[in-house]
Chain A
Amino acid sequence: MSSPLAAPRSQTRNKQRSNFELYGWLFMRVSGIVLVFLVLGHLFIMNILDGGVQRINFAFVAGRWSSPFWQVWDLSMLWLAMLHGGNGMRTIINDYAERDQTRFWLKMLLYVATVFIIVLGTLVIFTFDPTLG
């Protein structure tokens, strides 16, 4: 006898599965909304306001990072953007890299690069020395 509906599947498999992809999906939306403000604000200040990129130099950065407000802004932007972008890249690798080995090594490269940039950027913000030079 065949039924038009698929038979209910075993529950054990569902229990073993993690919700990682669900949280990833949600993270993309939540971080995305925050990044709209952080990144578009950053681009507006840096590229358009008051002469744009022409006025940026070491002294300009020193002036901004003397304020905890801009430190927190830049730190949040760094972490959220790298994790949002890293998760997006992970999705794209999963979609297009067909061989298991290729997919694995591309993701390892992505994870190493992402962690490196997050750690480097965080260190730069926290150890910035305005008296350098």
Chain B
Amino acid sequence: MATKTPVSLTATPIGTLYRGGEGMWTWVLQRITGVSVFFFLFVHVLDTALVRVSPEAYDTVIATYKTPIVALLEVGLVGAVLYHALNGIRIILIDFWSRGPRVQKQMTWVIAAIWLVVMVPGVFFMLKHSVEALFGSTS
């Protein structure tokens, strides 16, 4: 006769990476950024496919990418991809590096720092043209 062995579950499980704290929120963000980038990728292949229609069709749709509002969305896209990439590397280190699971919290703060250091100049260059166009320093 098979008997069920009771499994004890503590309220705050020890040794989990994914319940509460940095481990859970980095995982939630990884999903949100992943889904967002996937939908963008879908649209992006479609807009690039217009090079098979005509140069004018392609240039027209690419012109929308150059407007200030879409430039802001591109900053969001780059931020999402960069986070997804950095946290992906963190996940790989947790999985394959023997010390990974023990330093996952420190790695979270390291990727946050790298993200900021890359995004600050990135945002500057990505929005430079829009700011100049909006505030009139380009002729």
Q: Which residues of A contact B (CB under 8 A)?
A: 2-7, 29, 32-33, 35-36, 39-40, 43, 47-48, 51-54, 56-59, 61, 78, 81-82, 85-86, 88-89, 92, 113, 117, 120-121, 123-124, 127-129, 132-133
User: Are B45 and A117 in contact, with the CB atoms below 8 A?
Assistant: yes
B128 → chain A closest CB, angstroms: 8
A88 → chain B closest CB, angstroms: 5
User: Are A36 and B38 in contact, with the CB atoms below 8 A?
Assistant: no
Complex interface: chain B residues within 8 A of A89 (CB): 35, 38
Per-position 1/0 for B1-44, Cβ under 8 A of A? 01101000000000000000000000000010011011001100
Complex interface: chain A residues within 8 A of B59 (CB): 57-58
Nearest-CB residue, chain A, relative to B75: A47
Is B126 an interface residue when CB atoms closer than 8 A count as contact?
A: yes
Complex interface: chain A residues within 8 A of B2 (CB): 7
11 contacts between A and B (CB under 8 A): A40-B85, A47-B78, A53-B74, A58-B55, A78-B45, A85-B34, A120-B46, A124-B48, A124-B51, A124-B52, A132-B55
Classify the secondary structure of B's interface with A: helix
Chain B residues with a Cβ closer than 8 Å to the other chain, count: 41
B73 → chain A closest CB, angstroms: 11
B4 → chain A closest CB, angstroms: 9
Complex interface: chain B residues within 8 A of A35 (CB): 85
Nearest-CB residue, chain A, relative to B51: A61
B129 → chain A closest CB, angstroms: 5
